[in-house]
Structure 1
Protein backbone atom coordinates (compact mmCIF):
# COMPACT_ATOMS: atom_id res chain seq x y z
CA UNK A 1 0.00 0.00 0.00
CA UNK A 2 2.78 2.44 0.95
CA UNK A 3 4.76 1.52 -2.16
CA UNK A 4 1.72 2.14 -4.39
CA UNK A 5 1.08 5.52 -2.74
CA UNK A 6 4.74 6.51 -3.03
CA UNK A 7 4.85 5.48 -6.70
CA UNK A 8 1.68 7.46 -7.45
CA UNK A 9 2.98 10.58 -5.71
CA UNK A 10 6.33 10.34 -7.49
CA UNK A 11 4.62 10.05 -10.87
CA UNK A 12 2.38 13.05 -10.19
CA UNK A 13 5.33 15.17 -9.04
CA UNK A 14 7.38 14.25 -12.10
CA UNK A 15 4.55 15.05 -14.50
CA UNK A 16 3.66 18.36 -12.86
CA UNK A 17 7.29 19.39 -12.48
CA UNK A 18 8.09 18.77 -16.13
CA UNK A 19 5.04 20.52 -17.51
CA UNK A 20 5.44 23.80 -15.63
CA UNK A 21 9.15 24.42 -16.17
CA UNK A 22 10.13 26.20 -19.40
CA UNK A 23 12.87 24.47 -21.33
CA UNK A 24 16.27 26.06 -20.81
CA UNK A 25 18.48 26.22 -23.91
CA UNK A 26 21.72 24.24 -23.96
CA UNK A 27 23.64 27.52 -24.10
CA UNK A 28 22.50 31.12 -23.89
CA UNK A 29 23.87 34.63 -23.46
CA UNK A 30 22.13 37.86 -22.48
CA UNK A 31 24.16 41.03 -23.06
CA UNK A 32 22.90 44.53 -22.25
CA UNK A 33 24.20 47.87 -23.49
CA UNK A 34 23.36 51.50 -22.76
CA UNK A 35 24.43 53.81 -25.58
CA UNK A 36 25.84 57.33 -25.18
CA UNK A 37 22.37 58.67 -26.02
CA UNK A 38 20.85 56.57 -23.24
CA UNK A 39 19.23 53.91 -25.41
CA UNK A 40 19.05 50.60 -23.57
CA UNK A 41 19.61 47.65 -25.89
CA UNK A 42 20.12 43.95 -25.40
CA UNK A 43 21.15 40.88 -27.35
CA UNK A 44 19.96 37.40 -26.45
CA UNK A 45 21.48 34.33 -28.09
CA UNK A 46 20.48 30.73 -27.43
CA UNK A 47 21.06 27.31 -28.89
CA UNK A 48 19.51 23.95 -28.15
CA UNK A 49 20.87 20.49 -28.65
CA UNK A 50 19.19 18.64 -31.49
CA UNK A 51 17.22 15.86 -29.86
CA UNK A 52 17.34 12.33 -31.24
CA UNK A 53 14.05 10.91 -32.43
CA UNK A 54 13.77 8.56 -29.47
CA UNK A 55 13.06 5.63 -31.77
CA UNK A 56 15.40 3.16 -33.38
CA UNK A 57 18.59 3.73 -31.44
CA UNK A 58 21.29 5.67 -33.25
CA UNK A 59 20.55 7.76 -36.30
CA UNK A 60 17.29 9.14 -37.56
CA UNK A 61 15.85 5.94 -39.05
CA UNK A 62 13.10 4.33 -37.00
CA UNK A 63 13.56 0.65 -36.26
CA UNK A 64 10.85 -1.75 -37.28
CA UNK A 65 10.23 -5.24 -36.07
CA UNK A 66 9.47 -8.16 -38.39
CA UNK A 67 6.52 -7.48 -40.65
CA UNK A 68 6.30 -3.79 -39.70
CA UNK A 69 7.17 -2.48 -43.17
CA UNK A 70 9.13 0.64 -43.96
CA UNK A 71 6.29 3.11 -44.47
CA UNK A 72 5.14 5.86 -42.19
CA UNK A 73 6.08 9.40 -41.34
CA UNK A 74 9.70 10.52 -41.53
CA UNK A 75 11.58 11.01 -38.24
CA UNK A 76 10.65 14.27 -36.61
CA UNK A 77 7.43 14.46 -38.59
CA UNK A 78 5.19 14.35 -35.55
CA UNK A 79 5.04 16.39 -32.35
CA UNK A 80 7.26 15.18 -29.54
CA UNK A 81 9.63 13.23 -31.76
CA UNK A 82 12.53 14.06 -34.00
CA UNK A 83 14.62 17.18 -34.07
CA UNK A 84 14.04 20.49 -32.35
CA UNK A 85 12.26 22.79 -34.80
CA UNK A 86 12.66 26.52 -35.30
CA UNK A 87 9.21 26.97 -33.72
CA UNK A 88 10.45 25.26 -30.56
CA UNK A 89 13.56 27.44 -30.28
CA UNK A 90 11.53 30.57 -31.05
CA UNK A 91 9.01 29.82 -28.31
CA UNK A 92 11.76 28.90 -25.85
CA UNK A 93 13.83 32.00 -26.69
CA UNK A 94 10.87 34.37 -26.33
CA UNK A 95 9.91 32.83 -22.98
CA UNK A 96 13.50 33.05 -21.74
CA UNK A 97 14.02 36.67 -22.85
CA UNK A 98 10.84 37.73 -21.06
CA UNK A 99 11.98 35.89 -17.93
CA UNK A 100 15.50 37.39 -18.06
CA UNK A 101 14.17 40.92 -18.62
CA UNK A 102 11.69 40.56 -15.75
CA UNK A 103 14.34 39.17 -13.40
CA UNK A 104 16.90 41.85 -14.28
CA UNK A 105 14.45 44.76 -14.45
CA UNK A 106 16.42 46.03 -17.45
CA UNK A 107 13.38 47.06 -19.52
CA UNK A 108 10.92 48.21 -16.87
CA UNK A 109 8.75 50.03 -19.47
CA UNK A 110 8.69 47.16 -21.95
CA UNK A 111 10.73 46.56 -25.06
CA UNK A 112 10.49 46.29 -28.82
CA UNK A 113 12.12 44.00 -31.31
CA UNK A 114 14.90 45.28 -33.54
CA UNK A 115 15.93 42.02 -35.18
CA UNK A 116 15.37 38.30 -34.71
CA UNK A 117 16.97 35.25 -36.30
CA UNK A 118 15.80 31.69 -35.77
CA UNK A 119 17.37 28.54 -37.17
CA UNK A 120 16.57 24.93 -36.45
CA UNK A 121 18.37 25.04 -33.10
CA UNK A 122 19.62 28.63 -32.68
CA UNK A 123 18.00 31.95 -31.84
CA UNK A 124 19.24 35.53 -31.71
CA UNK A 125 17.09 38.44 -30.55
CA UNK A 126 18.12 42.10 -30.58
CA UNK A 127 15.83 44.44 -28.72
CA UNK A 128 15.61 47.91 -27.25
CA UNK A 129 13.85 49.06 -24.11
CA UNK A 130 10.99 51.51 -24.41
CA UNK A 131 11.79 54.94 -23.01
CA UNK A 132 9.95 56.12 -19.93
CA UNK A 133 7.00 58.38 -20.73
CA UNK A 134 7.73 62.06 -20.07
CA UNK A 135 6.07 63.40 -16.94
Structure 2
Protein backbone atom coordinates (compact mmCIF):
# COMPACT_ATOMS: atom_id res chain seq x y z
CA UNK A 1 0.00 0.00 0.00
CA UNK A 2 1.15 3.45 -0.77
CA UNK A 3 1.06 6.43 1.50
CA UNK A 4 -1.38 8.24 -0.81
CA UNK A 5 -4.14 5.79 0.15
CA UNK A 6 -3.85 6.68 3.87
CA UNK A 7 -3.97 10.47 3.41
CA UNK A 8 -7.80 10.64 3.00
CA UNK A 9 -8.23 8.39 6.02
CA UNK A 10 -5.84 10.49 8.10
CA UNK A 11 -7.81 13.63 7.18
CA UNK A 12 -11.29 12.18 7.72
CA UNK A 13 -10.66 10.35 10.99
CA UNK A 14 -10.15 13.48 13.18
CA UNK A 15 -13.20 15.13 11.61
CA UNK A 16 -15.41 12.13 12.38
CA UNK A 17 -14.12 11.86 15.94
CA UNK A 18 -14.62 15.56 16.66
CA UNK A 19 -18.17 15.46 15.26
CA UNK A 20 -19.06 12.65 17.65
CA UNK A 21 -17.52 14.45 20.62
CA UNK A 22 -19.76 17.49 20.13
CA UNK A 23 -23.04 15.61 20.53
CA UNK A 24 -24.87 16.19 23.81
CA UNK A 25 -26.16 13.28 25.80
CA UNK A 26 -29.83 13.49 26.69
CA UNK A 27 -30.46 14.39 30.31
CA UNK A 28 -31.35 11.37 32.38
CA UNK A 29 -34.29 11.68 34.69
CA UNK A 30 -33.18 11.60 38.30
CA UNK A 31 -35.31 9.54 40.60
CA UNK A 32 -36.86 10.89 43.76
CA UNK A 33 -34.95 10.14 46.94
CA UNK A 34 -36.75 9.47 50.23
CA UNK A 35 -34.57 8.75 53.25
CA UNK A 36 -36.10 8.07 56.64
CA UNK A 37 -34.48 8.10 60.06
CA UNK A 38 -36.10 7.16 63.36
CA UNK A 39 -34.12 8.65 66.22
CA UNK A 40 -33.56 6.90 69.56
CA UNK A 41 -36.08 9.42 70.99
CA UNK A 42 -38.70 7.95 68.57
CA UNK A 43 -38.71 11.15 66.51
CA UNK A 44 -39.30 10.37 62.84
CA UNK A 45 -37.35 12.58 60.45
CA UNK A 46 -36.90 12.40 56.69
CA UNK A 47 -35.05 13.88 53.74
CA UNK A 48 -36.88 13.98 50.42
CA UNK A 49 -35.40 15.30 47.19
CA UNK A 50 -36.12 15.52 43.48
CA UNK A 51 -33.83 16.31 40.58
CA UNK A 52 -33.84 20.00 39.75
CA UNK A 53 -33.75 19.28 36.01
CA UNK A 54 -37.07 17.38 36.13
CA UNK A 55 -39.37 20.31 36.77
CA UNK A 56 -38.42 22.92 34.21
CA UNK A 57 -41.92 24.32 34.25
CA UNK A 58 -42.34 27.16 31.76
CA UNK A 59 -38.67 27.93 31.14
CA UNK A 60 -39.00 27.52 27.39
CA UNK A 61 -42.32 29.29 27.00
CA UNK A 62 -42.81 32.89 26.13
CA UNK A 63 -44.84 34.65 28.80
CA UNK A 64 -47.11 36.18 26.18
CA UNK A 65 -48.24 32.68 25.14
CA UNK A 66 -49.67 31.90 28.54
CA UNK A 67 -53.39 31.95 29.14
CA UNK A 68 -55.19 34.75 30.81
CA UNK A 69 -56.94 37.75 29.61
CA UNK A 70 -59.43 39.67 31.68
CA UNK A 71 -59.05 40.68 35.27
CA UNK A 72 -57.67 43.75 36.95
CA UNK A 73 -54.34 45.18 35.87
CA UNK A 74 -51.35 44.00 37.87
CA UNK A 75 -50.54 45.85 41.07
CA UNK A 76 -47.71 48.27 40.32
CA UNK A 77 -46.29 47.84 43.84
CA UNK A 78 -45.57 44.15 43.28
CA UNK A 79 -42.21 43.46 41.73
CA UNK A 80 -42.18 41.17 38.71
CA UNK A 81 -40.80 37.68 39.13
CA UNK A 82 -37.77 36.75 37.12
CA UNK A 83 -37.68 33.52 35.13
CA UNK A 84 -35.36 31.95 37.72
CA UNK A 85 -37.76 32.84 40.55
CA UNK A 86 -40.64 31.41 38.54
CA UNK A 87 -38.66 28.23 37.88
CA UNK A 88 -37.71 27.85 41.54
CA UNK A 89 -41.33 28.32 42.57
CA UNK A 90 -42.44 25.64 40.08
CA UNK A 91 -39.73 23.29 41.35
CA UNK A 92 -40.67 23.87 44.99
CA UNK A 93 -44.33 23.24 44.18
CA UNK A 94 -43.30 19.98 42.50
CA UNK A 95 -41.17 19.07 45.52
CA UNK A 96 -44.07 19.55 47.94
CA UNK A 97 -46.62 17.72 45.80
CA UNK A 98 -44.29 14.76 45.20
CA UNK A 99 -43.47 14.63 48.91
CA UNK A 100 -47.19 14.44 49.72
CA UNK A 101 -47.55 11.54 47.28
CA UNK A 102 -44.56 9.76 48.84
CA UNK A 103 -45.84 10.23 52.39
CA UNK A 104 -49.28 8.93 51.40
CA UNK A 105 -47.72 5.99 49.56
CA UNK A 106 -45.42 4.98 52.43
CA UNK A 107 -47.52 6.05 55.42
CA UNK A 108 -44.42 7.48 57.07
CA UNK A 109 -45.98 10.67 58.50
CA UNK A 110 -49.57 9.73 59.28
CA UNK A 111 -50.35 12.95 61.20
CA UNK A 112 -48.48 15.44 59.04
CA UNK A 113 -45.01 16.89 59.40
CA UNK A 114 -43.07 20.01 60.31
CA UNK A 115 -40.67 21.40 57.74
CA UNK A 116 -37.15 21.75 59.12
CA UNK A 117 -35.36 23.02 56.03
CA UNK A 118 -35.72 23.33 52.27
CA UNK A 119 -32.71 23.90 50.06
CA UNK A 120 -31.27 23.40 46.60
CA UNK A 121 -28.02 21.57 45.97
CA UNK A 122 -26.19 21.51 42.65
CA UNK A 123 -28.79 19.36 40.90
CA UNK A 124 -31.54 18.56 43.43
CA UNK A 125 -34.22 20.25 45.55
CA UNK A 126 -34.40 18.92 49.13
CA UNK A 127 -36.78 19.10 52.05
CA UNK A 128 -35.97 17.98 55.58
CA UNK A 129 -38.89 17.30 57.85
CA UNK A 130 -40.04 15.77 61.12
CA UNK A 131 -43.28 13.82 61.50
CA UNK A 132 -45.82 15.09 64.01
CA UNK A 133 -46.23 11.63 65.58
CA UNK A 134 -43.68 9.46 67.36
CA UNK A 135 -42.52 6.16 65.92
CA UNK A 136 -44.41 3.02 66.82
CA UNK A 137 -42.75 -0.41 67.08
CA UNK A 138 -44.25 -1.17 63.64
CA UNK A 139 -42.63 2.00 62.23
CA UNK A 140 -39.25 0.91 63.60
CA UNK A 141 -39.44 -2.43 61.84
CA UNK A 142 -40.94 -1.04 58.64
CA UNK A 143 -38.62 1.97 58.22
CA UNK A 144 -35.19 0.62 59.05
CA UNK A 145 -32.46 3.26 59.31
CA UNK A 146 -30.29 2.45 56.32
CA UNK A 147 -28.77 5.91 56.07
CA UNK A 148 -28.56 8.34 58.98
CA UNK A 149 -28.13 12.09 58.88
Length-normalised TM-score, structure 2: 0.48
Matches within 5 A, 1:2-21: none
- Structure-2 residue corresponding to 1:78: 63
1:117 to 113, 116, 119: 119
- Compared with structure 1, are the counterparts of its residues 43 and 77 closer, same or farther at alpha carbon in structure 2 (3 Å cutoff)? same
Aligned residues of 1:40 and 1:129 also touching (Cα < 8 A): yes
Aligned residues of 1:28 and 1:46 also touching (Cα < 8 A): yes
C-alpha distance in 2 between matches for 1:77 and 1:121? 24
The alignment partner of 1:85 has SS state of: helix
Whether 1:127 aligns to 2:112 is no
2:40 to 36, 56, 68: 36
State the 1:46 CA deviation: 1.1
C-alpha distance in 2 between matches for 1:111 and 1:101? 10
More helix per residue: 1 or 2? 2
Matches within 5 A, 1:98-109: 98-109=100-111
For the pair shown, the structure with the greater C-alpha radius of gyration is 2
Gaps of 5+ in 1: 1-24, 55-75
The alignment partner of 1:27 has SS state of: coil
How many positions carry a matched residue from both structures? 87
State the 1:77 CA deviation: 5.9
**Residues 20-77 of structure 1: per-residue CA shift (max 9 Å, x gap):** xxxxx743200011000100000011113275965xxxxxxxxxxxxxxxxxxxxx66
Matches within 5 A, 1:84-95: 85-95=87-97
State the 1:120 CA deviation: 9.2
Superposition RMSD in Å: 3.4
- Say which structure, 1 or 2, has more relative contact order (CA 8 Å, 6+ apart): 2
State the 1:88 CA deviation: 1.2
- Compared with structure 1, are the counterparts of its residues 111 and 77 closer, same or farther at alpha carbon in structure 2 (3 Å cutoff)? same
Aligned residues of 2:110 and 2:133 also touching (Cα < 8 A): no
The alignment partner of 2:126 has SS state of: strand
